[in-house]
Structure 1
Amino acid sequence: MEMVKTFKITRSTLDRALKYIGNSARDNMLRSAAFQRGGVIYLGVPAPRGYMPDIATSFENGYMRQQFGPRIEVILNLETNWAILKIDGQEAAKFDGLSVGVWGNMLYSLQQIYNKLTNTASI
């Protein structure tokens, strides 16, 4: 409710932005504000057993980069397990000390967001 009051928007406008239904400048600003207030990207759905995301993965200088098309990128430091999530080139979230289980669930959630952003069928 704090964001609804602060930005003088409706709850449905905020929900649409946070669920990545829209991708306007205002939607991006609202998502950024939510992250600044402690929000995280997680759909609450664990990855199905054996799930493999449809991503491009590359390794360079101790980092792993995973990209869901041109819009979503995750950069992981392989020594410290911290990661940065970028959506549309903007830093959306930071994670520290990711476990393999959390990593897999996060990738599954990101795949669902990517599918919504590109209007593709869910996996």
Structure 2
Amino acid sequence: NTYDKVAGFGEENWHFGDRHVGVLSTTLPQDADPRITVYRDMDGLVADLDKRGTKHVYPDGGRLIQSFIRAGRIQHFVISVAPVLIGAGHRLFGELLKDVPLRLDSAADAGGGFAQLRYTVET
């Protein structure tokens, strides 16, 4: 679902420049967009990131973030808090196999009532 939103940006609003963009999907055709690499499973995605020597990734989309957490591939979180209490919806991190201890590194006023919290995963 996140890919559909990003693909709609078009060339004039493509914010990723020449950075590698990967999409984890079992349904998207592998040649859907020359700007992206489609991965069929998390193992293939992680193996390619390791092969590329990738040091930092920005996983976006609830299910992908959950997959990275379960794979132990998240070292830092930047969580933005909106000034709205939502009455229903999906859990941000879904079901986790175990607790993930975090250390708060910083908290900042992001303007407009938003706060940005930066955490490091403690191992």
TM-score by length of 2: 0.28
TM-score by length of 1: 0.28
User: Which protein is bigger by CA-based radius of gyration?
Assistant: 2
Relative to its length, the structure with more helix (as a share) is 1
